[in-house]
Amino acid sequence: MNCGDVKVEEHSLNPEIVRLKKSMVSFRESLSAELLNQSSSCLNNQRFYLWHNTPANSRGKRDGITYGDLSALQLKKFKSMMQLFLSTDGYQKVNDITVFSEGWLNEIKSDIWNPSFYSIDMFGDPEKSGSWGFQLDGHHCVVNFLVNGNNVSIVPAFLGGEPAKATFNGKAFDIFKDERDLALTLYNGLNASEKNVSITKSATRALKVGAAERAGQPDPYINDYDYSIFKKGLKYSEMSTKTKENLIILMKEYVYNLNQNFADLWWNDINEHIDDTYFVWIDNVEKPTSTSQFYYRIYNPYLWVEFNTEDVTGANENNMEPWNHIHTITRIPNNPKTNNDGDYGPFANAVNKNNPKTLLEHYTLADHHKKSDIFFDYELITLHQHNTAHSH
């Protein structure tokens, strides 16, 4: 690959990162020339940002190569590499989504949902530089793995499940038990004033900074996307001691999907800005339970988390219980004030400049929202050429 003037790092001497490199090289060497060429791109290639969470449907609907293109040995090598990036819990979630939840759906409509449809794109060359990564992309599981010198990240990470809780091939799974139950402990433990500040009653529960609309569209929330509009809700510095403790536990559930040693470094950055953390809750504000529909969001200059429950769609033929359909997104906001790299590290070049940059633009421009009632839980400072503030 001729990647032009992409700025890359030297090879890391960190033993864990060296193991990651060796594992990636081993996987790449196991591929035929055709598969390797089909799945390889530069770190500044737009393919880095092309991911979405709609069903893959079949091979060829996404870039790269699919699980179905790999032999059993090749797939084992790939999954072994993922295990080095992820914690035990993080890998378990990915496996439960791609194997068990997707396998459950596959028995309903095999032409739409299939564990073999998950795709792999690789970026950079780990033998030539210390900057490289890969993307796992498919229905309800998208993770962007990146090594850049001594830095390792897995964001953006979109993890979901329908069903999120069920039994498949005799194995019970509850993919987001901790993300759900820890959040319920946090919310139900808020005092009256904390609860009043954290609740946003008028907003939609859709992910605010989620996936692109459809296949072939770049992630619209990269590079210069402004997260500051979401500094709403209950601020960490104004929380009770117990609420702070519960929020920390919940935040770590997302951060520590990454290998612990890499996650520790990420958490250090988050913790340095912990007072600038905000928590928002939408829906079922009286006494939500594990079977309720609800949404929550966490904003920190180094961590963005969203969680929502949705009604069942493709799986409703099996009379699955309502709201057993969960989406989560984990990101690192690209914040100029803190000068952090954000999602995709330093390779988040400005692409697809015509994409909407705010939620309002998203709802205005997206065809499938044109007939929807629009609610926003942030204040829009300017709309068209008016100078007055508008709250939605």
The per-residue pLDDT for range 239-267, each reduced to its tens digit, is: 999 999 999 999 999 999 999 999 999 99
Predicted local confidence at residue 359, as pLDDT: 40
Bridge partners, 309 (sequence order): 326
Q: How confident is the model at residue 73 (pLDDT cuts 50, 70, 90)?
A: very high
The tokens for 8 are 């890359």
Q: How confident is the model at residue 137 (pLDDT cuts 50, 70, 90)?
A: very high
With 70 as the cut, is the pLDDT of residue 390 above it? no
Q: What's the rounded Cα separation, in Å, for the pair 20 and 43?
A: 17
Pseudo-torsion of CA 268, 270, 273, 278, nearest 10°?
-150
* 319 or 6: which leads in pLDDT: 6
Q: How confident is the model at residue 318 (pLDDT cuts 50, 70, 90)?
A: low
Q: For a pLDDT cut of 90, what percent of the chain falls above it?
A: 65
Mean pLDDT of the chain: 85
Q: What's the rounded Cα separation, in Å, for the pair 320 and 368?
A: 26
On the CB side of 170, CA atoms within 13 Å amount to: 0
Amino acid at 169: N
Bridge partners, 171 (sequence order): 168
**34-48, 235-249, 327-341: least confidently modelled range:** 327-341
Could you tell me if 139 and 56 are in contact, meaning their C-beta atoms sit under 8 angstroms apart?
yes
With 70 as the cut, is the pLDDT of residue 1 above it? yes
With 90 as the cut, is the pLDDT of residue 312 above it? no
Chain centroid to Cα 205, Å, comes to 16
Give the 3-state secondary structure of residue 21.
helix
With 70 as the cut, is the pLDDT of residue 138 above it? yes
Q: What's the rounded Cα separation, in Å, for the pair 308 and 21?
A: 35
**9-18, 166-175, 347-356: least confidently modelled range:** 347-356
- Residues 6 or more apart in contact with residue 244 via CB below 8 angstroms: 236
Predicted local confidence at residue 159, as pLDDT: 98
Could you tell me if 231 and 278 are in contact, meaning their C-beta atoms sit under 8 angstroms apart?
yes
With 90 as the cut, is the pLDDT of residue 161 above it? yes
Could you tell me if 233 and 280 are in contact, meaning their C-beta atoms sit under 8 angstroms apart?
yes
Could you tell me if 323 and 291 are in contact, meaning their C-beta atoms sit under 8 angstroms apart?
yes
- By DSSP bridging, strand 40-41 and strand 119-123 are parallel
